[in-house]
Structure 1
Amino acid sequence: MQVGVFYFPTDYGIDPGELGQALEARGFESLFVCEHTHIPASRKSPFPGGGELPKRYSHTHDPFVALAFAAAATRQLRLGTGVCLVPQRDPIVTAKSVASLDRLSGGRFEFGIGGGWNVEEMENHGARYATRFRLMRERVLAMRALWTEEEASFAGEFVNFDRVWMYPKPRQARVPVLLGGETDHTLKRVVEFCDGWFPRAGAGFDPRVAVARLRAAAEAGGRDPASLTTSVFRAPPEAAALAGYREAGITRVLLEVPDLDRDGILRRLDELAPLAVA
């Protein structure tokens, strides 16, 4: 089982390049960064975590720019979005960003994606809450075509373009797409057009049940369960708990890098470092 971290790459936190170096030096496998392009000041959409929306949500760097700095400062660290809000992004521009980052990093990118929860945020991008998952599916399929076909085209409900050339292609033959969420609908989408599942470890999360659910969904959808990974977001930073994740067959766990200043983050990484080899 691989052990990585996730982080909101804020303008008041640690430089992404320094964070990448610190993680690599401590033996962590990966860095995943969160995304919000902006937060509408109306605040009509309630924060799913309850209470006030944390400051970090409105202070994040662009994930691809942040990861590019981390890529340039490291050699082996896997680099991922956790998650990229695909319904809010143009698929051609995003496909270019993914391909460029994957190629320049030597094939180290993991594309964690999600549908989003902030209605006003996605509406500012022309997306609609009710159709966000259909939109996300088409955009992922269109990006796959752009990454793999010499002359790509796509005709769908939301995404349409005639034959185009788009280079560079990613370094990896297949960029791993990991879908966030915990519902049965999420699992069906994972099996249909993704490469891995990206659930959150909340109250009552059982890694054995999670692995069994993904296996059952894969078999029901005619997919080899071995072709799908499970990366658990916000896994508990406890050795005993992580041992249970490993025994259950979880592929990767992501521990949280807190919303602190540079020195506070580095101290926390020192505390988490023994778990990097869990």
Structure 2
Amino acid sequence: MKFGASMFFTDYSISPAQLATEMEARGFDTLWAPEHSHIPLSRKTPFPLGPELPKRYYDVMDPFVTLAVAASVTKRLRIGTGVCLVAQRDPIQLAKSVASIDQVSGGRFVFGIGNGWNQDEMENHGTIFASRHKLARERIEAMKAIWTQDAAEYHGEFVNFDPIATWPKPVQKPHPPIFVGGAFPYSARRAIRYADGWLPQVTGADKAPLSEVIPRFRQMASEAGRDPAAMPIIIGAQPPDAALIESYAKLGVEMVYPSLPSEPADKILPMLDLWADLMRRF
């Protein structure tokens, strides 16, 4: 069992450099950073995890910036987007950002992706909410071509470009591992179709416990011709509950991690110590 931690980095939270350094010293595996480019003041879609949208969602910094800082002060800690909103980003530029951060980190980047829930936010980027899933898939497929081919091209319904040359290529081959985040079963299907692992989430719309959906995910992977053992499962936003972590370990979950509040170091470091105590049990 591996352990990580996630944070919405803001101008009032612990810095990514300090958090990364403290995590590496305690033996954590991965630092995750989520993203929102902005929050429209009038939302068509409710927040899926509760009645009110927390302030940190409005204030979060760009994950590629904060994770690059974290990589610069560490040697072993992996860094990951948890999650990057692919449907809101240009795929050619995003492919370069992913390859660049994988290069500067020495191959330590994990590409967690999600298709998003905030309709207004997407529409401000020119993304049509109803077709965001196909758009995201095409962008991932296009980025894979960019990462693995010297003369890459892609022709789809939403992404279309003739042969291009762009470097750097990622350190990790064929590319950094891609994890799809979201609720069962739809994100599970997307992970099986074009990713390397799954970041399952429980939402108000689908409250099925992860202990039930994880075996179903593996069955779906097998039926689709994927090796379930080769598709790791990572579970975020977890409490420091030893019994719960033990149950995930028995299910073969690769990593669990908490979503730390956007607080300064004096609030965060005791939380890391608590998780470090749990880590030693596993």
Q: Which residue of 1 aligns with 2:219?
A: 216
Q: Which residue of 2 aligns with 1:177?
A: 178
Q: Percent identity?
A: 49
The equivalences for 1:212-251 within 5 A come to 212-251=215-254
Specify every segment of 5 or more residues in structure 1 that has no aligned partner in the other structure, as ranges.
Answer: none
Please say if residues 10 and 59 of structure 1, whose CA atoms lie closer than 8 Å, have aligned partners that are also in contact: yes
Distance (whole Å) between structure 1 residues aligned to residue 279 and residue 169 of structure 2:
32
Shift of 1:169: 0.4
3-state SS in 1 of match to 2:233: strand
Distance (whole Å) between structure 2 residues aligned to residue 41 and residue 186 of structure 1:
27
Please say if residues 36 and 85 of structure 2, whose CA atoms lie closer than 8 Å, have aligned partners that are also in contact: yes
Q: Which residue of 2 aligns with 1:273?
A: 276
- Counterpart of 2:209, as a letter, is F
Please say if residues 153 and 161 of structure 2, whose CA atoms lie closer than 8 Å, have aligned partners that are also in contact: yes
Shift of 1:50: 2.6
Q: Which residue of 2 aligns with 1:254?
A: 257
- Counterpart of 2:194, as a letter, is F
Which moves more between the two structures, 260-269 or 215-224?
Answer: 260-269
Q: Which residue of 1 aligns with 2:168?
A: 168
Shift of 1:235: 2.2
- Counterpart of 2:252, as a letter, is G
Q: Which residue of 1 aligns with 2:43?
A: 43
Q: What TM-score comes out, normalization by structure 2 length? A: 0.94
Q: Which residue of 2 aligns with 1:116?
A: 116
Please say if residues 184 and 200 of structure 2, whose CA atoms lie closer than 8 Å, have aligned partners that are also in contact: no
Please say if residues 20 and 73 of structure 2, whose CA atoms lie closer than 8 Å, have aligned partners that are also in contact: yes
The equivalences for 1:94-113 within 5 A come to 94-113=94-113
Please say if residues 257 and 269 of structure 1, whose CA atoms lie closer than 8 Å, have aligned partners that are also in contact: no
Please say if residues 183 and 202 of structure 2, whose CA atoms lie closer than 8 Å, have aligned partners that are also in contact: no
3-state SS in 2 of match to 1:190: helix
- Assess, with a 3 A threshold, how the Cα gap between structure 1 residues 45 and 210 changes in structure 2: closer, same or farther: closer
Distance (whole Å) between structure 1 residues aligned to residue 249 and residue 56 of structure 2:
31
Which moves more between the two structures, 162-171 or 182-191?
Answer: 182-191
Shift of 1:114: 0.5
Q: 1:205 aligns with which of 204, 209, 216?
A: 209
Q: Which residue of 1 aligns with 2:127?
A: 127
The equivalences for 1:31-70 within 5 A come to 31-70=31-70
Shift of 1:262: 2.5
- Counterpart of 2:102, as a letter, is D
Shift of 1:267: 2.2
Shift of 1:5: 0.9
Distance (whole Å) between structure 2 residues aligned to residue 89 and residue 275 of structure 1:
37
Structure 1 runs of 4+ off > 4 angstroms? 201-204
Distance (whole Å) between structure 2 residues aligned to residue 206 and residue 186 of structure 1:
13
Distance (whole Å) between structure 2 residues aligned to residue 249 and residue 42 of structure 1:
41
Distance (whole Å) between structure 2 residues aligned to residue 269 and residue 233 of structure 1:
15
Please say if residues 33 and 80 of structure 1, whose CA atoms lie closer than 8 Å, have aligned partners that are also in contact: yes
Q: What TM-score comes out, normalization by structure 1 length? A: 0.96
Q: Can you list the C-alpha shifts for 1:14-35, whole angstroms capped at 9, x where unaligned?
A: 1101110011111111111110
Please say if residues 188 and 221 of structure 1, whose CA atoms lie closer than 8 Å, have aligned partners that are also in contact: no
Distance (whole Å) between structure 2 residues aligned to residue 114 and residue 232 of structure 1:
14
Q: Which residue of 1 aligns with 2:151?
A: 151
- Aligned length, in residue pairs: 277
Specify every segment of 5 or more residues in structure 2 that has no aligned partner in the other structure, as ranges.
Answer: none
